[in-house]
Amino acid sequence: MNKIGLLSVYNHNYGSILQVYALQNVLINMGFDVKVILYQKTNIFKQAIRLFYVPLLKSIVKNKYKIFYCKLFKNKFYLEVLVPREQEFTRFVAKNIRFSRIYRGRAGLIEANNDFDVFVLGSDQVWNPMNLGSDYFTMTFIKMDKKKITYAPSFGVAVIPAHQRKKTTEYLQRIDYISVREITGQNIVKELTGRNVPIVVDPTILLSRNVWDKERGEPLFKEKYIMCYFISTIPSHREFAKKLAEKTGLKIVTIPYVDEYTKVDEKFGDIVPKAGPLQFVNLISNAEYVCTDSFHGTIFSILYGRTFFTFRRYAEDVKDSTNSRLSSILHLLGLEQRMFDSADNLDENLLRPVNYVKPNKLLEQLRKESQAYLENALREI
């Protein structure tokens, strides 16, 4: 059996965990022995240099502050919600993700060439500029005679910073098969390398719906509800959800403090579940309405035919905006009208079920094309 080394993100984030779980299972179902590569960085100086990249530094500080603040001022919530949430992630990863042995440092990572026949990179924001400093998702440690394939990676941004363009071009040129997740990523690859690369669906879509149906379990709540999953700290998104709750008489189920502590989540929502990755799928798939500014919140809403409201997480002129991947999938499926500014009026028309006849046909076509891309890239192995 041919061995695949999978380079992916597997931190405790719903989208990250679910996409790596999905891609690994898709490849296993194709008949490969697949392991997610465990890489332990040893160059402390190089990692310290990465902290000068402001978006990465902000992300680390916000997460650390969330833990510190909740431990100190919201200890009951910390012990009853945040800790169990982390435990659910740990259990899910231990049970469902297959890992390689640990490769320590760059020299150790190069040894992975001896253990795998092919390397697949995917998915999530592995090519986000904040990751460039680690020089891992660039696939530059892989020998030229080893096949290198990407499946649905995202740059996360619409423009590569000027000081990273040269290095980005160099690593892209070494990769044998490239696919991306959004239109902006397609444009970046074309601009930097001249290559026309396909857009493929996120692995969570590529994995059979039957698998998600089996793994998500029975509905967590008997009564109807609105599911809210917000990563941003924008108050008006929550206000929109409150208006929706008032109009429908439904309770709000929410997952607060996803990436950072935010005061707007303090008194928001009626029910706060201890949700791990599969509970996340369960909550979205059984919701009457979904309000989210998350890519994977949107993906699972579409996958399960929910009436959803997707909000922009960033203003359009923000340099580090990740709005592009959201607008891209909605555009590809003809669902642009489901992208909202939180100031939009909540009229009766918005409460009607989304017509998924055309989007489902487009989604199925994208799924077939994505499967064909993966099969073609792996055919010679």
| Per-residue pLDDT at 313 | 81
- pLDDT tens readout for residues 221-237: 999 999 999 999 999 99
Q: What is the number of helices (H) and of strands (E) in the chain? A: 15, 10
pLDDT at residue 11, rounded to an integer: 86
pLDDT at 41 over 60: yes
| Sheet strands (E) in the chain | 3-7, 33-40, 99-104, 118-121, 147-150, 225-229, 251-254, 289-292, 307-311, 339-340
Position 44 pLDDT exceeds 60? no
Categorize the per-residue pLDDT at 59 as very low, low, confident or very high, splitting at 50, 70 and 90. low
pLDDT at 371: 96
What CA–CA distance (Å, rounded) separates 119 from 104?
18
Sorted by where each starts, the structural domains of the chain and their CATH numbers stand as 3-61+82-206+365-378 (3.40.50), 216-363 (3.40.50.2000)
Decide: 132 and 167 in contact? Cβ < 8 Å: yes
pLDDT at 264: 87
DSSP symbols for 33-70: EEEEEEEE---HHHHHHHTTSHHHHHHHHHHHHHHHHH
Distance (Å, rounded) from C-alpha 375 to C-alpha 221? 39
Residue 250: CB atoms within 10 Å: 18
Confidence of residue 316 (pLDDT cuts 50, 70, 90): low
Q: If you ran DSSP here, which 8-state letter would residue 82 be given?
A: I
Residues 6+ apart with CB under 8 A from 147: 117, 118, 119, 176, 177, 377, 380, 381
Mean pLDDT of 271-277: 94
Across 91-103, average pLDDT: 96
Dump pLDDT digits (tens) for 13-29.
999 999 999 999 999 99
Question: Could you read off the pLDDT of 139-196 as tens digits, one per residue?
Answer: 999 999 999 999 999 998 889 999 999 999 999 999 999 999 988 999 999 999 999 9
Distances 143 to 34, 117, 216 between C-alpha atoms, Å = 19, 11, 39
Give which of 292, 317, 313 is closest to 304, Cα–Cα: 292
pLDDT at 7 over 60: yes
What does pTM read for this prediction?
0.90
Whether the CB-CB separation of 333 and 351 falls below 8 Å is answered with no
